Structure 1
Amino acid sequence: MKTFFLHIGPYKTGTTALQVFFAQNMHALQARGITYLPLGLIDQARQGKITAGNGAFVARSLLPSGHEMSLANKRKAIFSDLQHKLQSLDTKAALLSSEFFCDVNRTDMTRFKDFLSKAGFQLHILMCVREQASYLESYYIQRVKRHHQTQKPVQYFADAPYKTIEHLHYGSYAENLGKIVGQSNISVCRYPQENIFDTFCNMMGTSLDGLSIPDRQVNVSLSPENLAIMIELNKFKPRQSISDQIVASEVVAQGGKKSEKRTILSPEIRDQIRTYFQAENDKLSDLAFGGAPCFTDKDKEYADLDMIRDALDIQSIIDLFGGLVIAQEDRLSRLENTVRKLIKP
C-alpha cells in the first residue's frame, strides 16, 4: 500500500508555516516521492498566506453539519475530487495538511481511514503538540486578532474553557487515534522545541537538505503592548486587516524580527492549566516520547495587560498608529492608481 501522510495540526503549532513550506516545496517533495496534493488554496500558501492547508476543504467536509466551519453538504463532491487525485498519483506517498482535522470526531476519522484503505493507502498521522498554557495563550491572542475579543486573560480563562477542547488532552487524544490507525502510524513532535521543518521531513522519511524554508514569519502574534491596544480597539469591531497591519508595523519597528519573551498569562493561570493537563501529558510521554517529559518550557516574564495599558507612552502610540497610517495611505494610493487606469480614456 501507498502511504497517506495526514498532518492534523493541531492549531497553534506552526501549522501555517508548515503549510507554506509544503506548498513552496511541492515540486521538490514530489521528486522525493511525496505528493502534496493539489487541493485547496495552494497558490495563496506559496505566497505565504494563511490557508488552513491543502486539506482544509476535505477536513471541513468531515465536520458535523452543526459545526460553524462544516462543509458536510459538499462532502460528496470534495471526496470525488480527492479520489480522482489519488487515482492519478504517481508517487509512493500523498500528503494532506489541515488543522481542521483535529476537530474531526473518531467516527468520521475512521470512515476517512476506511476510504483511504479502499483507495490503496495506509493512513499515517502527523501531529505536533505544544505545552497547553503556551497553546492557550496563543489561542487567546488569535481571538483578539481575529474575533474581536475584549476580555482580559483573567476573565477569559476564569471558567477554564480549555477543559472541553478534546485535542488538548494529548494522551487520550493520541491513544484514541491509535485505536483507529494503530499507534505505529502516529508520529508526534513538540513545538517549538523542535525544528518543525526538519522534524516533519524526518517523519516522512526524507530530509530538509535541498528544501527552502519560508523566508518570513506568518501568522505572528501581537506584543503585549499592541495586544492591550487591540483589546480596546475591538470595542469598535475593526476589520481583521487592522491587526495584520499592527503586527506588520511592529515587525518593521523591531528590524524585521518578532520574538516575544514575555507572557500575558499570570503564574496562577499557568499553574492551573498545567496542573489540569499533567496526567494527560504523562500519558503522552509514555506513548510518544519513551517516558521523557513532553515539555521543558521555561517560564517567561509576566506582562500584566492592565499595567501595560496604563503605562503606554507616546512613542509606543506613534510607532503603532504611524505604521497604520502609512499602510492605509499606501493602500489608498494603489486603489487610486487602479481607478485612474480603469477610467483613462
Structure 2
Amino acid sequence: MKKTLYIHVGHYKTGTTALQVFLSQNAKKLRRHGLDYTEVFRHHGKHSKFAFSLYRAAKVQTLMHGYKDPTPPEKLWSELFEAVLASPAKTVLISSEEFMRLGAHPAAGARLGDIVSGVRGKIDIRIIAYLRSPAAHLRSWYNQMVKMSAATTDYNTAVCQVMEPVHYDYALALRPWIEIFGAEAVLLRPYQEDFRRDGGLFRDFLSLFGLDYDNPPGRHGWVVPEKDVNPRLDDRLLELTRALHLADVPDDLAHWITHRAGVVLQQQDKDLIAGAQGFDTVAERVRQGLSQLETLPGCAVDLASFQQDLPRPEAPWRADLGLVLATLLREQNLLRDRLQERSTELRTRIAALEARLDRDT
C-alpha cells in the first residue's frame, strides 16, 4: 500500500495554531479513520522542527526562536519517512506554518529537494496551504509581531523593511513547494474570515481527507478547542504595546497597562453604540428644527447648506486614543503617588534616625 504524506505549510495567520490544536486533540480518532497526525517530532501540536532543521542547515539566523538542535535535517526527515511507511494509516499529516518561510531561503529549499529525492516512488507527498487576502494577512501578521514584541517599527516600515517577502509575495512563498513536488501536488485553500466561527476551518480542512466535521465518526464528537488559542491583540492597543516595548517597560507592567486599557476600551465600545444611536436622534432634531425656520420671512440664513452639515459622531479612533492616553497618565499618576508615599516614608525614617543619633550623642 503506497502511503501519502501531506505537509500543511500554513500560511501564517490562517488559523494554523487552532487547526494544530484540533488535530492534536483528535489524533487518535483521526488515526483510526485513516489520517495519522504523526507524533514524530510533534511539539506543542506542530512539526516545526522539520522546518527549522532546514533553515539551520542553510545558515538562517533570523526568526529561529531559539532553535539550536544540531541534528541534520536529513536525519529528521528520514525518521519521518520511516514513520510514514510504518504507520497503520494510509495518509500521514504534518503541520507547521514555519514551512512557509522556505521561499525566503533558497538554500533550505534546495536541501529539502535533495532529501525527498530518496523517497520518490515510495511516498506521495502533497502540500496544503491556506492563503488570506494580502492586506488582511499583513495587518494580522503585524499584529502578531507586536504582540510577540518582535516589531518596534511602525506598520509601513515593518511591511517594507522587516517582514520577509513571503508575507506578501505568495508566488515566492509557494515556489519551492511547486518546484520540488509539482504544481499538481499543491492544494491551495482560501482562508475565510468567518472560519473562526462554528468550526469553519476544521470543516474545510477535514473535507480534504473525506472526513465530515458535522457528522464525526464514532459515538463521540470531535474535541474542539474551548477558546481562541491565539487571540488577536486589539488593533487599538498596537501602538500602546509598541510604545511600551520601545520604552523598555517591564513585561509585567506593560501587560497590566495594556490589560487596563483593553478593559476601558471594551466599556467604551458599549458607550459608543449608545452614543451613535443618540446622534441619530440629535441629527433628526436639528433637521426638523431647520425645516421649521424656513417659513420665517426675515430668514437670511442658508438653511439648505445647514441641512447638508448635520451633526455626526466623531471617528471612534479619536475616543480610543484619548482613553489609551488616559490609561498611561493614570498609571503615571499612580506611580508618582507611590514614589511620593515612599519618599515621605523614607524622609520620616531618616528624621527619626537623626533624632535618635542626636539623643545618643
Normalised by the length of structure 2, the TM-score is: 0.61
Please give the per-residue CA displacement for 1:201-240, whole angstroms capped at 9, x wherever unaligned: 1122322232232221012121133323212221215449
Q: Within 5 A, what are the aligned runs for 1:176-187?
A: 177-187=177-187
Kindly indicate whether residue 59 of structure 2 is the aligned counterpart of residue 65 of structure 1: yes
C-alpha contact (below 8 Å) 1:222/1:247 kept by paired residues = no
For 1:76-87, list aligned pairs within 5 A.
76-87=74-85
Identity among equivalent positions (%) equals 23
Is structure 2 residue 26 aligned with structure 1 residue 15? no
Q: What amino acid sits opposite 1:185 in the alignment?
A: A
> What does residue 111 of structure 2 align with?
108
Q: Which amino acid aligns with 1:117?
A: R
Deviating 4+ runs (over 6 angstroms): 315-319
> Within 2, Cα distance between the matches of 1:218 and 1:103?
22
Instruction: Flag the 1:142–1:172 CA change in 2: closer, same or farther, 3 A.
Output: closer
SS of 2:7 mapped into structure 1: strand
Counterpart CA distance in 2 for 1:6 and 1:29 is 16
Distance 2:266 2:323 in 1: 20
State whether residues 37 and 92 of structure 2, in contact with CA within 8 Å, keep that contact through their aligned partners in structure 1. yes
Which SS does the other structure have where 2:190 is aligned?
strand
What SS is found at the alignment partner of 2:189?
strand
1:147 maps to what in 2?
A: 149
Q: Distance in 1 between matches of 2:151 and 2:140?
A: 13
Aligned to 1:73, what secondary structure does the other structure show? coil
The separation in 2 between residues aligned to 1:247 and 1:199, in whole angstroms, is 34
Contact 1:8–1:99 (8 Å) recurs in 2: yes
Whole-angstrom distance in 2 between the partners of 1:204 and 1:15: 17
Q: Secondary structure at the match of 2:206?
A: helix
Distance, in Å, in 1 between the alignment partners of 2:206 and 2:153 is 39
Q: C-alpha distance in 2, partners of 1:137/1:98?
A: 21
For 2:71, the equivalent position in structure 1 comes to: 74
In structure 1, what residue type is equivalent to 2:70?
Answer: N
Alpha-carbon separation, structure 2, partners of 1:237 and 1:30:
47
Structure 1, unaligned stretches of length 5 or more?
A: 46-52, 256-301, 320-345
CA distance in 2, matches of 1:316, 1:24: 41
What residue in structure 2 maps to residue 39 of structure 1? 40
Distance in 2 separating the partners of 1:88 and 1:245 = 52
Cα distance in 2, alignment partners of residues 71 and 207 from structure 1: 40
Asked whether the 8 Å contact 2:131–2:188 carries over to 1, the reply is yes
Give 1:128 deviation, angstroms: 0.5
Partner of 1:200: 205
Counterparts of 1:87 and 1:215 in 2: how far apart (Å)?
34
Residue type of the alignment partner of 2:210: G
Instruction: Provide Cα deviations, 1:265-303, integer angstroms capped at 9, x if missing partner.
Output: xxxxxxxxxxxxxxxxxxxxxxxxxxxxxxxxxxxxx97
Q: For residues 283-329 of structure 1, what are the alpha-carbon distances to aligned partners after superposition, in whole Å with 9 as ceiling and x for unaligned? A: xxxxxxxxxxxxxxxxxxx976x98444437589999xxxxxxxxxx
Aligned residues: 260
Distance 1:223 1:109 in 2: 38
Aligned residue for 2:28, secondary structure, equals: helix
SS at match of 1:111: helix
The alignment status of 1:224 with 2:235, answered yes or no, reads yes
Structure 1 residues 80-89 or 183-192, which shifts more? 80-89
Structure 2 residue matching 1:94: 3-state secondary structure: strand
Greater displacement, 192-201 / 62-71:
62-71
1:115 and 1:228 mapped to 2: Cα distance? 49
Q: Matched residues in 2 for 1:248 and 1:190: separation?
A: 36
Look up the match of 1:129: 131
Aligned residue for 1:91? 89
* In structure 2, C-alpha distance between the alignment counterparts of 1:204 and 1:240, rounded to whole Å: 44
| Structure 2 CA distance for partners of 1:129 and 1:241, relative to 1, 3 Å | farther
Instruction: Measure how far apart 1:4 and its partner are.
Output: 0.4
Per-residue deviation, residues 90-139 of structure 1 (Å, max 9, x unmatched): 11010000111112243133234324436x21111000001111111112
Whole-Å separation in 2 of the counterparts to 1:248 and 1:315 = 7
How many angstroms does 1:143 deviate by?
Answer: 1.7
Asked whether the equivalents of residues 12 and 139 of structure 1 are also in contact (C-alpha less than 8 Å), the reply is yes
Aligned-pair CA distance for 1:84: 4.0
What residue is the counterpart of 1:6 in the other structure?
Answer: 7
CA contact (8 A) 1:61 1:74 kept: yes
Distance 1:150 1:36, change over 3 A: same
Residue pair 1:228, 1:308 contacting (<8 A) in 2 also = no
Given that 1:116 and 1:123 are in contact with CA atoms closer than 8 Å, whether structure 2 keeps it comes out as no
Over aligned residue pairs, what C-alpha RMSD do you find? 3.7
